[in-house]
Amino acid sequence: MESVEKNTLAQLDKLNVLIIDDNRLVHDILKSSLYELGIREIRCAENAYFGLRLCNEMHFHVVICAFNVQSDKDGFHLLEELKFKGHVTKTTVLIFLSSETDESLVNSIIELQPDDFWTKPLAIKKVQTRLTATLKVKQALFNLYSAIDRKAFAKAIYFADRYLLNEKLAPFHPNINRIKGDSLLRLFEFQEAEAFYKELLTHYQYSWVYLGYAKALLKQGRIDEIQEMLKKLTDKPETRFGAHDMMAQYYIEQEQYQLAYDEIKLATALAPRNIERNKKSWDLARLTHDHKGQYLATRNIAQQAKNSIHDSPELLLNVIRAGIDLACATPDESAQAVLKQTDRYIEQLENDYEDIQLFKPQLVVAKARLHNVRNEEAKATKLVENHMSLKPTTIVEDNLDKVKVLHELGMREDAIHLLQAINNQISGDSLNCQVVRRYIEQETQEREDIHFTAKQLNSMAVEHFQRNRLLPALDAIVQALQLSPDNIKLMISQLKILITIKQQDEATNEHVVLVEQLFSKFASKTLEGKTPIVLKELTEKWQKLCA
């Protein structure tokens, strides 16, 4: 079977070619180019829907796909679906078309690893030359690609070593070496991979060689040896995306979640279409208490997944939940705008999906949380008591939302019991499972120690402060900052309380340390509006008290 397919790549009149582009002129140019080469079986589709239908009807050896197919899903999500359904494998010749070359699009294309990338407008001779060269590579390395399709990485290395000894295959040696290096990493042969990439660096200056060498050392925990290289990789446009993504993985493995989050945000901005990376950003945002980042990540997931195999009502439901979390963590009136948008998302969910009854239990919980954040506790309690089951479901996110509403309504024993059930649901050894498991552990500890939301704690602190109960006010703000550590308003409130304690000559060394930590945090933040003026006044007041 393999030999037949391999030989087919050399027989142009035996090839089946699929073109997916919403521009008929592109179809005409490509068909003319391919007919001149002797290719006869050419099918064209103007959108992803018909492209998928054609793939269901016949096997294609070559797929030429526009990255931006405007009528339905884009090329990135189309290819994901084609790969998922087995229509495109490593032995398929895959070529992307685009008239754009901005960095985020190029990064997304690189991530999909096509065999070639053609920029529009197309020229017949260029199409013929590039396709012929690509077919030669695919045919020459057919056994290698076939082994990768089967995840037979040891076999891929065996073929690679044989091919590297063949001087006739010298033009393909970079491709062969790349596959061998990746296979070594996938087999966790990190020391051998290190030596392999180190040798390649004496011959090649390709980006993938530097990234592979860096990854081999990172997997051995030897980050200190390549600090300078990592800085160069993150500075260069052609490697910065891969470097940030690689570093995010490294920091997750080291359980340095804030650093991992900083890196994943940079990688996501450079290649925003990858849903799994966006989900990782969401999980890390939750773990590091970045409620705004969590909200933005869920919105980006819902937007990028539109019309893809990832699209589902649950994605919009996650946006709603993240919006409520953000409102609970926002102590000022800016939360109202988020709540209004959340109301619109609920309306959209109820109107857009025919099977909305399937999500009625989840919407009950979301609406109860909305009542609670709006200080309508009686309405929230009524919804929970009459319409919400305390039994855990099979879906972790549904159970987490139940925990939050129970905790917010003071039903803390029920919340902790449900959290313990959730912890038993997280299984697997993947890095994503590691992050989610750590988040559940953090949620369990915080729900046991802290009985209110950041917004509620801020209100309590204001009341204590107005009644000159300074230490209880400080305790409430400290707890609020544990839940929302980067909230500038909470930090300003804490500074005001500490200054008042100092004015009343009740400050301890611990209080002085807290002020120093606050000034250090403020120095690393971008302050907006009136905050810089307020901070300057408070700083001068503190300095006079300490003089």
Determine the Cα–Cα distance for residues 270 and 234; give it in Å rounded to an integer: 12
Residue-range domains of the chain with CATH: 2-140 (3.40.50.2300), 288-449 (1.25.40), 454-546 (1.25.40.10)
Is the pLDDT at 7 greater than 70? The verdict is no
Find out whether 30 and 156 touch, Cβ atoms under 8 Å.
Answer: no
pLDDT of res. 108:
76
Structure tokens given for 56: 């269901």
Kindly state the average pLDDT of the residues 158-181.
94
Kindly state the average pLDDT of the residues 315-323.
96
pLDDT of res. 4:
40
pLDDT of res. 72:
60
Q: CA geometry: angle at 150 spanning 144 and 155, to 5°?
A: 50
Encode pLDDT of 483-505 as tens digits: 999 899 999 999 999 999 999 99
Which has more confidence, 393 or 181?
181
Is the pLDDT at 3 greater than 90? The verdict is no
pLDDT of res. 2:
40
Encode pLDDT of 411-460 as tens digits: 988 988 888 888 887 766 666 678 888 888 888 888 889 988 999 999 99
Kindly state the average pLDDT of the residues 305-323.
92
With a pLDDT cut of 70, the percent of the chain lying above it is: 96
Q: What is the DSSP letter of 45?
A: E
Cα→Cα distances 200→176, 229, 357, Å: 12, 16, 58
Find out whether 409 and 381 touch, Cβ atoms under 8 Å.
Answer: yes
Encode pLDDT of 509-531 as tens digits: 999 999 999 999 999 888 888 89
For the chain, the farthest-separated pair of C-alpha atoms sits apart, in whole angstroms, at 91
Determine the Cα–Cα distance for residues 170 and 129; give it in Å rounded to an integer: 19
According to DSSP, the residues that pair with 64 across neighbouring strands are 19, 95
With a pLDDT cut of 90, the percent of the chain lying above it is: 70
Mean pLDDT, all residues of the chain: 91
1 falls in which pLDDT band (50, 70, 90)?
very low
Kindly state the average pLDDT of the residues 526-544.
91
**Nearest one of 455, 506, 501, 509 to 477, comparing CA atoms:** 455
pLDDT of res. 309:
86
How far apart, in Å, do the first and last CA atoms of the chain sit? 85
* Coil, helix or strand at residue 330: coil
Encode pLDDT of 112-155 as tens digits: 788 998 988 899 999 999 999 999 999 999 999 999 999 999 99
Is the pLDDT at 5 greater than 60? The verdict is no
Determine the Cα–Cα distance for residues 30 and 409; give it in Å rounded to an integer: 63
Q: Which residues, other chains included, contact 453 with Cβ-Cβ below 8 Å and sequence gap of 6+?
A: 328, 329, 373, 408, 483
Q: Sheet containing 16-20: which strands, arranged edge to edge?
A: 41-45, 16-20, 62-66, 93-98, 116-119
pLDDT of res. 347:
94
What stretches of 330-430 show up as alpha helix (H) in DSSP? 335-352, 360-373, 377-387, 396-408, 412-423
The region, left, alpha or beta by phi > 0 then psi within -120 to 50, assigned to residue 483 is alpha
Find out whether 64 and 18 touch, Cβ atoms under 8 Å.
Answer: yes
Kindly state the average pLDDT of the residues 81-93.
91
pLDDT of res. 314:
93
Determine the Cα–Cα distance for residues 428 and 436; give it in Å rounded to an integer: 11
Distance of CA 158 to the CA centre of its chain: 35
Cα→Cα distances 272→103, 245, 260, 265, 284, Å: 11, 12, 17, 10, 16
pLDDT of res. 119:
87
* Coil, helix or strand at residue 391: coil
pLDDT of res. 95:
93
Encode pLDDT of 344-395 as tens digits: 999 999 998 888 888 999 999 999 999 999 999 999 999 999 999 999 888 8
